[in-house]
Amino acid sequence: LQLLLLGCLWLLAAPPALSIFQRPTGSPAPPRLQYLLEPLHSTVHTQRGATATLPCVLRALPRNYRVKWSKVEPANYRESIIIITNGLYHKNYGPLSPRVSLRHSHRYDASLTITGVALEDEGRYRCQLVNGLEDESVSLTLHLEGVVFPYQPSNGRYKFNYHEAKRACEQQDSRLATYQQLYKAWTEGLDWCNAGWILDGTVHYPIINSREPCGGRLLLPGVRSYGARDKQKDRFDAFCFTSALQGSQVYFIRGHLNFKEAGQACRNHGATIAKVGQLYSAWKFSQLDRCDGGWLADGSVRYPITTPRQRCGGLPDPGVRSFGFPSKEMRTYGTYCFAGK
């Protein structure tokens, strides 16, 4: 029994190798699945804070097999191991380790369950059956419905290197957007002239209406690219991605408050002053619509408009409007508060 246990643990303790999902151009297609069932749906839709299950079911149990779950990291397109099981024992790896488990509702079930889904959990996952020369796998995508927004600091445009942009998004309850997220936002109407970092270290800007200050009128609309840039030296804005958080609420407190008083007003209600990502999320998913400028946690003043009207800025499209970063001593604005779970 001890030898059997040691052998099982040895199988699980094998160091997680790194690889890339993409096959080289011209390589043969993967063989037809023999042991794994093709999932009915390759995309699993979920919300931040929820529990999500990525299906992986075997049609038969080969001898001496392992199932390995991994995730492709959009920042470098490399694959990181999440969990390995041989059907009897399992071992978790990496930062997802505390929040993942195998559903194992029956002996053929190797589905992966993620609790407390976070922004960084979105992406592509692979369930791989490791069985000697007959390895096979299925790929799935975990999708969070979200919103992309451009972000720059109080001292103006083009101030972030890559690492500062990444940190700035995280401080505003968001993360750097992936190219796919930025592209989807462009198809939904995001039009922004300033270039910004995204998660893979490249720099882009989305244009709906071609115009002179944004590359000229002759260039077609699209997500225009500066390509990969020096993450330390080059400076741009940031494109951040956020999503709705289950059980949360953003609301406005009217008043003539300076920045310090705005924070205290939220705390008096058992809440915190809202972050930029939280206001965008409430605008996108809760249809928050107010003409009132309000303080946010980064010292900016903004207001969300879902139904454009003349007296609320006069712009024809919905959006989160900004008054920039006024003096924190000004007693002109109310405040937007965030109440989480």
Q: What is the 3-state secondary structure (H, E, C) of 92-130?
A: ECCCCHHHEEECCCCCCECCEEECCCCHHHCEEEEEEEE
What b/e string do you get for 123-154 counting C-beta neighbours within 10 Å, with b at 16 or more?
bbbbbbbbbeeeebbbebbbebebbbbbbbbe
Could you tell me if 191 and 109 lie in one domain?
no
Q: Report pLDDT for 162.
A: 98
Question: What is the pLDDT averaged over residues 83-101?
Answer: 93
- The verdict on residue 165 lying in a domain is yes
Residue 53, helix vs strand vs coil:
strand
In a domain, 26, yes or no: no
Comparing CA positions, the residue from 31, 79, 29, 33 lying closest to residue 56 is: 33
Within-domain flag for 27: no
CATH code of the domain in which 54 resides: 2.60.40.10
Q: Pinpoint the alpha helices (H) of 45-195.
A: 162-171, 179-187
Mean pLDDT for the stretch of residues 169-193: 96
Read off the pLDDT of residues 185-201 as tens digits, 9 standing for 90 and up: 999 999 999 999 999 99
State the Cα–Cα distance between residues 110 and 85, nearest whole angstrom.
8
Interior/surface letters 44-73, b for 16+ CB within 10 angstroms, e for the rest: bebbbbeebbbbbbbeeeeeebbbbbbbbb
Reported as a pLDDT band with limits 50, 70 and 90, residue 19 is: very low
Query: Residues 144, 119: contact at Cβ < 8 Å?
Result: yes
Confidence category of residue 3, pLDDT binned at 50, 70, 90: very low
Q: What is the pLDDT of residues 240-276, one digit of tens each?
A: 999 988 889 999 999 999 999 999 999 999 999 999 9
Q: Of 105, 126, 144, which residue sits at a domain end?
A: 144
**Number of H helices and number of E strands within the chain?**
5, 21
Q: How many CA atoms within 13 Å lie on the side-chain side of 269?
A: 21
- Asked if pLDDT for residue 208 goes beyond 60, the answer is yes
In which element (H, E) is residue 283 found?
helix 276-285
- Element spanning 2, H or E: helix 2-12
Q: 15-28 burial, b for 16+ CB within 10 Å, e for fewer?
A: ebeeeeeeeeeeee
CB atoms within 10 A of CB 220: 8
Does 297 share its domain with 225?
no
Q: Is residue 128 part of a domain?
A: yes
How much is the pLDDT for 245? 85
Q: To which residue do tokens 């699945």 refer?
A: 33
pLDDT number for residue 11: 36
| Residue % of the chain over a pLDDT of 90 | 74
**Same domain as 155, residue 135:** no
Domain count of the fold of the chain: 3
Q: Tokens 């992986």 sit at which residue?
A: 56
Amino acid making up residue 283: W
Residue 160: which CATH number? 3.10.100.10
CA–CA gap between residue 111 and residue 117 (Å, rounded): 16
* Residue 310 structural domain: 245-339
Q: What is the mean pLDDT of the chain?
A: 89
Q: The tokens of 329 are what? A: 């001593």
CB 231 within 8 A of CB 201: yes
Whether 319 contacts 341, CB under 8 Å: no
Model pTM? 0.84
Average pLDDT rounded to a whole number, residues 210-220: 86
Q: Do 303 and 327 fall within a single domain? A: yes
Note whether residue 164 is domain-resident.
Answer: yes
In a domain, 200, yes or no: yes
Among 181, 214, 242, where does a domain finish? 242
Identify whether residues 152 and 126 lie together within a single domain: no
pLDDT higher than 60, residue 25? no
214, pLDDT greater than 90: no
Q: Is the pLDDT of residue 12 over 60?
A: no
**Which has more pLDDT, 33 or 7?**
33
Q: Above 70 in pLDDT, residue 16? A: no
Residue 69: pLDDT above 70? yes
**What pLDDT is stored for residue 240 in this prediction?**
98
Q: Which of 144, 160, 187 is the last residue of a domain?
A: 144
Average pLDDT over residues 77-95: 90
Considering the domain architecture, whether residues 129 and 157 belong to the same structural domain is answered as no
pLDDT for the residue 32: 75
- Inform me whether the pLDDT recorded for 20 exceeds 60: no
Tell me the pLDDT tens digit for each residue of 107-165: 999 999 999 999 999 999 999 999 876 689 999 999 999 999 999 999 999 999 999 99
Q: What residues contact residue 101 under an 8 Å CB cut-off, 6+ apart?
A: 83, 112, 113, 115
Q: Is the pLDDT of residue 229 over 50?
A: yes
**pLDDT recorded at residue 10:** 35
